Amino acid sequence: MQTRIEKFVEKLQQAETLDDLQSVVEHLRTLYQADHFIYHSVNHAGEPYAALTYDLKWVDHYLARDYARIDPVVLGCYQRFHPVDWKQLDWSGKPARGFLKEALDAGVGNQGFSIPIRGPKGQFALFTVNHKCSDDQWARFTRAHVHDLILIAHYINKKALEIEAGSDILPDATLSPRETDALTLIGLGLSRAQAAERLKISEHTLRVYIESARFKLGAANATHAVALALARGKIVL
């Protein structure tokens, strides 16, 4: 029986156009039973693209008011490399509170989890899952799916770059056998101590392999390195 992530990858592999990518994002709602999924990208030339499930009236209103200037999700994630829960962002200012009220009235959920993505040549993208539920329900959801969501974010970004004529694709990076082994074990959920023991090396040496792979892939951290290695076919879990 296929897992959710396997079903997503199968659907994504069939995408050949940006319209197809919109269908993939819509499919995620069915797979993960969340209200909204959003992928938004700005390439190195400053050209935006979005695939999302928000009501288009809200999207038009957001663009007309240029809410990206005050949206705490956009502002907060642009300064981050790591995934962030919306509750960790600064919503204290009057403009942000007013924006949030309008968003909730338009059907945006009260919970959100966003993953910043930095691609080649200055490309910036953001992948978000959004839902309406209690804090406890949301904590359970994010704990259960955070690994999948990080992988999905980078898979979608890679596919979007490929569709956009491939001009933003990074040169291929060749990983050594040890770098491949290290990322594979980390991707399978082993701790660094367990991975080092499996490979019969010290944790310090393992860290060297992971950092080397991270540098080659242009990744922000080990989790990002695993996601990029998977997306580029460097490792198979």
Domains defined for the chain, CATH in brackets: 4-163 (3.30.450.80), 177-231 (1.10.10.10)
Model confidence pLDDT, tens digit, residues 77-112: 988 878 999 999 999 999 999 999 999 999 999 999
Return the higher-pLDDT residue of 135 and 43.
Answer: 135
Mean pLDDT (the chain, rounded): 88
Q: Kindly state the percentage of the chain with pLDDT values over 70.
A: 94
Q: Are 128 and 37 in contact (CB under 8 A)?
A: yes
Instruction: Identify the pLDDT of residue 132.
Output: 98
